[in-house]
Structure 1
Amino acid sequence: MAERGRRKRPLVVSDEDRRTLEQIARRRTSAQVMAQRARIILRCAEGGSDGQVAEELGVWPQTVGKWRNRYIDGGIQGLSDKERPGQPRKISDAKGEEVIRATLETPPPDGGTHWSTRMMAAESGLNQTAVSRIWRAFGLKPHLVDEWKLSTDPFFIEKVRDVTGLYLNPPDHALVLCVDEKSQIQALNRSAPVLPMMPAVPQRQTHDYIRAGTTTLFAALDAASGTVISAQHRRHRAVEFRRFLNQIDRETPPGLDVHLVLDNYGTHKAPIIKDWLPAHPRFHLHFIPTYSSWMNLVERFFAEITRRMIRRGTYTSVKELELALQAWIDEWNADPKPFVWSKSAEEIFETITAYLNRINDSEH
């Protein structure tokens, strides 16, 4: 189909420019902004419309049109950022790329694991503020590290499809409940009174604490509404989990099937649970892959309750902790907020494939 709108100006790429653009586009670890612009021009030169190129490269059509026109008007030099009003730039694109390349591709001179602004400033001849601005502009955070773990579950693909299917296309006349236990929640009392927050002074509490015992929070998060069915037990065994299943059975409409999303913890697969299921045929268990707790939406609820009350809470007894937990959950259920799942199974597989490709291509 012909592209609608004004007729595009012809874009012609010389052999010399094509070689230069291909060299820029192959950069994988640095100068990704310029690499993307080069890929846009190369794809446009093959005859792709703005819409087609935008869809293939994951950018807006307006972005494709902008760099198409900039190349036609100024060649490869036109792909660099234009000078903006205000004080003239003191750091050239080449110097910025040098800092980015060094950050991504070379180890720091002190033998450490990552660069600091001070070390990079000394290495590059810039000041720390300039290094910090370059890092922010390209989203570089050498001081941070994300941890991840690949699942070794032999049925990983089947389980991902099963659970994401429940989230994205839940069955009719059924509830989808994300179930898990947050164990060993400690009732901690500080060794000195907590000092309240004041202007320019944060809340202060002692580093050391007094342990008063632990409790376990059982929770079933309704994926559709965000409401939570909860129970608290001092022990964490299959017996307590069966009691919680009985509670779910009592507190959900009897005419609905109940699909439970669970992890692979032993209490969820114990013989007494397997014996319980035939007597409750409306219950269906769906297990997430091993090492994939991120697929269970109740973990997002646990993160919220940890951030909002457990981490900074002070409790003199387990009973006080349990009452506080229940009060917080009651407030949550008065105005529940569901956590919306958006990724399909195929998108998850694509992300994992990208990780695997990066691992395989790594020189380390």
Structure 2
Amino acid sequence: MPVAAAHPISLRAAERERLKKMAYGHKTEHRLRIRAQVVLHAAHGRSNARIARESGLHLDTVRCWRGRFAERGLGGLNDRERSGRPQSFTSIQVAEVKALACRLPAESAVPLARWSCPELAVELTTRGITGAISASTVRRWLAEDALKPWQHRSWIFITDPDFRAKAQRVLDLYARTWQGQALGQDEYVISADEKTSIHSRCHPTLAPGQARAMRVNHSYGRGGALAYLAAYDVHAVKVFGRTEPRTGIAPFMNLVAQVMSTEPYASAKRVF
């Protein structure tokens, strides 16, 4: 069977310069470097067999890129566009997934407080909206559409009829005002609270590093549950803290004594 004659290659000055940069440039992708070298060798009148032998390439590879350049020029050295993997889901199905994610699980008689991606994947299959679908696919669709149904925000509905008056006093103090008068330099506002059941982790937290998230051990060493009481000077941004074996008025008064025995609070005109 006769072998097709090699395509003759004739280069313009601009093409030769561009090919040299591609063939010997340090930042050129390997595949493009090889293709450019094939064309440059061909432009010197070398046969396909000689180019293949000297470059270690298959003869068909040399013939392919020599012919592509002869037909299309520099653009022929790029990869052809591929159709890619056919879509497994339609745009209608994707829209139905997002619509379901925006509805409360209770509307579907599902005993969940909020949807998770694995639960959504199961519900989609159960309803017949899609066939088998992975949670990662659902997560990717929602992330692309900025929908994150697994996130939630809670709030406290106010039931105290005197809330406005009570809150006004606190907010005034935060603004350094009491009964319409500005607080003096020797008057201070302390916010105090307590947190029960403080434990220590069994292993120390590891700081994040390159390509590694922070690692936090999930287990605690109880060692006896302690209560942490804290007092915060809201204007000086200063914190006083202590631990107590339990909460109550006596531990709270220990915190008060700790603060009030310290300057400038010990000699202050007033401490709220």
| Bigger RCO (CA 8 Å, 6+ sep) | 1
What is the TM-score with the length of structure 2 in the denominator? Answer: 0.45
Higher Rg of the two aligned structures: 2
Normalized per residue, which structure has more helix?
A: 1
